[in-house]
Amino acid sequence: AQKVTQAQTEISVVEKEDVTLDCVYETRDTTYYLFWYKQPPSGELVFLIRRNSFDEQNEISGRYSWNFQKSTSSFNFTITASQVVDSAVYFCALSGYGQNFVFGPGTRLSVLP
Amino acid sequence: NAGVMQNPRHLVRRRGQEARLRCSPMKGHSHVYWYRQLPEEGLKFMVYLQKENIIDESGMPKERFSAEFPKEGPSILRIQQVVRGDSAAYFCASSRGDQARGNEQFFGPGTRLTVL
């Protein structure tokens, strides 16, 4: 069975602080995909990143960076110099090859001015 | 290039009524997934459909819920005799089903169902 754990239910930081959101996953598949989505207060899901299991290269996109560690089954997400607009619920998700998504419970990030 | 479209965006029903949620996948996509997000929770898979076929309905409640994706027209998620516990956001996602690209799903904006 596939499972995604996001142990941090809520995080509060002050603007300009760095923050890391943790994601740990379980799967028996050798081919799988990991995702991060942002859900702002408006409710839609905003795609942030997709990573396949064969690509362990870390990725940086502006203030966002992702650390994929297959050895620890983790796919952590770091926001550098956080801003108030980063306040949202962030979901990590896992998908097997050609299968539906399994979402984590989400981490609510509040960035205070 | 329109993304995944869902309507209505907000739906209010009284207990016992029927709710119909529609999802139009992205152009060129023939696979549709429905997910439910209860308040303050993550998204939970409900059903996976291809045109005219239900591929996986392991996440669908056994009663009152049904889904279809006809040859023509949008996918429909139907909830009969709604109860307050059905109040949630329902998200639809679509994909090309092209395994070479992995399982890249694109999500719609969601339909927020409120049962009074």
CA–CA distance, B96 with B29 (Å, rounded to integer): 4
Interface residue ranges in chain B relative to chain A, Cβ cutoff 8 Å: 33, 35, 41-45, 48, 56, 59, 89, 91, 93, 97, 99, 102-107, 109-110, 112
Asked if A81 contacts B17 with a C-beta cutoff of 8 angstroms, the reply is no
Confidence of residue A93 (pLDDT cuts 50, 70, 90): very high
How is residue A113 written in tokens?
């001015």
Which position has the token pair 């989505």?
A: A37
Q: H or E segment at A91? A: strand A88-96
pLDDT of B114 higher than 60: yes
Instruction: Name chain B contacts of A48, Cβ cutoff 8 Å.
Output: none
pLDDT in tens, A10-29: 999 999 999 999 999 999 98
pLDDT at B112: 96
pLDDT at B103: 66
pLDDT of B95 higher than 90: no
CA–CA distance, A90 with A37 (Å, rounded to integer): 6
> How large is the average pLDDT for residues B105-113?
92
pLDDT in tens, A35-80: 999 999 888 899 899 888 888 888 888 999 999 999 999 999 999 9
pLDDT of B101 higher than 60: no
pLDDT in tens, B53-80: 998 899 999 999 999 999 999 999 999 9
* Contact state of A44 with B43 under an 8 Å Cβ cutoff: no
CA–CA distance, B96 with A44 (Å, rounded to integer): 21
Instruction: Name chain A contacts of B42, Cβ cutoff 8 Å.
Output: 91, 103-106
pLDDT at A38: 95
Task: Output the average pLDDT for chain B.
Answer: 91
